[in-house]
Structure 1
Amino acid sequence: MKYTPEAGFPYYYDLVKDMNYRSLFASSSTITLLNSISEEKAVYRYAPDKWSIKQIVGHITDHERIKIFRAFLMSRNESIELWGYDQNLLVNNSRFEELTLKQLITDFVNVRKASVSFIETLSENQLLIKGMARQYEITLEDFLKSIIGHEKHHINIIKERYI
């Protein structure tokens, strides 16, 4: 079955399911790509109702920040449903357009370093802990894959529609 981004977890997971998620979190390819984008290009929108590159970078960072916190709770056997959030509300109430792309990249790098640090502390047993993401029962490891899959989705969009 082919999923769409609106499906959430299964779509993002499918983008990286057979890849080494630890290597993907440690990779600098996203940072290299973002650093190649000019400030002028960073405000570009390919359609009036679409986010700018700056907003996408801020959204990727927000998403990782939120989801890694949920992964942390899951890793500690906190019985939670891995609920969604209103991405448009968060982007619309941000300062992403006021900040420079460099500032947004720095924030992303800092969040990523914290994510990698957390992931490195997880045991094999913790990676097998299960939780609910919408109607899907998933392991912590699969949840982590969906986090990096979300980034991959947006980077693909930047490559295909923005640059």
Structure 2
Amino acid sequence: MEKRPERNEYDPFFTRYIDLVPNGNIADILEKQIADTTNRLNYVSEQQGLYKYANDKWTVKEVIGHLTDGERLLGQILFQIARGEEVDFQGVNWSIYIQLGDFNNQSMQMLIDQYRAVRSSTVALLRSFNEEAWGRKGTAIQSDITVRALAWILAGHELHHRNILEKFYFSTTDFQG
């Protein structure tokens, strides 16, 4: 699926994610992100995984957990809409998800493995869709959204957080130790 979602396929809020994604086959882009992201995270030590650049920010491990939880959640919504269900997802409280996810007590390898497994599942699902499934619409966070848009949002959401990790975590003196 190479067609980018049109502006009427999602709420304008998600433009910030979709615009980060390069042109191309979205399943291929999502699959390539598995290698790109895990290759970068493989060099993060357990100690570095607990780093956060400000008291009110997430640790590296919590960011990874958030990416995986977001993938699980949006992947489920994407699946339901693709299968013709009337979805009316209202949103989540990410602070509670982070708190109850207990990501800081999981190893970096466990978090990376979970991310890889969940993303691989999403890619396999997307590769199974026909053209009709890509255009199906549901409601998420009080706006209409297509399966296609959700796939692009997943890719952009990851790029958004990877950019934050690079800028505010990995490139700082405190992170380097």
State if a TM-score over 0.5 links the two structures. Answer: yes
- CA deviation vs aligned residue, 1:91-143 (integer Å, no higher than 9, x gap): 01112010111110011111111111111111111101122333543321111
1:24 aligned to 26, 29, 44, which one? 29
- CA deviation vs aligned residue, 1:14-35 (integer Å, no higher than 9, x gap): 2227443212211110111111
Question: How far apart are the structure 2 equivalents of 1:111 and 1:159?
Answer: 22
Tell which deviates more after alignment, 71-80 or 82-91: 82-91
Displacement over 6 Å in runs of 4+ = none
Q: Does 1:11 align with 2:16?
A: yes
For the structure 1 residues 136 and 17, does the alpha-carbon distance in structure 2 shift closer, same or farther, using more than 3 Å as the test?
A: farther
- CA deviation vs aligned residue, 1:56-107 (integer Å, no higher than 9, x gap): 0001000000110110000011111243211111001112010111110011
For the structure 1 residues 60 and 12, does the alpha-carbon distance in structure 2 shift closer, same or farther, using more than 3 Å as the test?
A: same
What TM-score, normalized to structure 1? 0.89
Tell which deviates more after alignment, 82-91 or 95-104: 82-91
- Segments of 5+ residues of structure 1 without an aligned counterpart are 1-6
Question: How far apart are the structure 2 equivalents of 1:8 and 1:101?
Answer: 31
- Following superposition of structure 1 onto structure 2, how do residues 83-94 of structure 1 map, counting pairs within 5 Å? 83-94=90-101
For the structure 1 residues 141 and 87, does the alpha-carbon distance in structure 2 shift closer, same or farther, using more than 3 Å as the test?
A: same
Q: Does 1:146 align with 2:175?
A: no
Tell which deviates more after alignment, 45-54 or 122-131: 122-131
What TM-score, normalized to structure 2? 0.82
- Following superposition of structure 1 onto structure 2, how do residues 105-144 of structure 1 map, counting pairs within 5 Å? 105-144=112-151
Q: Is the 8 A contact 1:9 1:133 kept in 2?
A: no
Deviation of 1:37 (Å): 1.3
- Matched with 1:66 is 73
- Matched with 1:4 is none
Aligned letter for 1:77?
G
Q: Is the 8 A contact 2:18 2:156 kept in 1?
A: yes
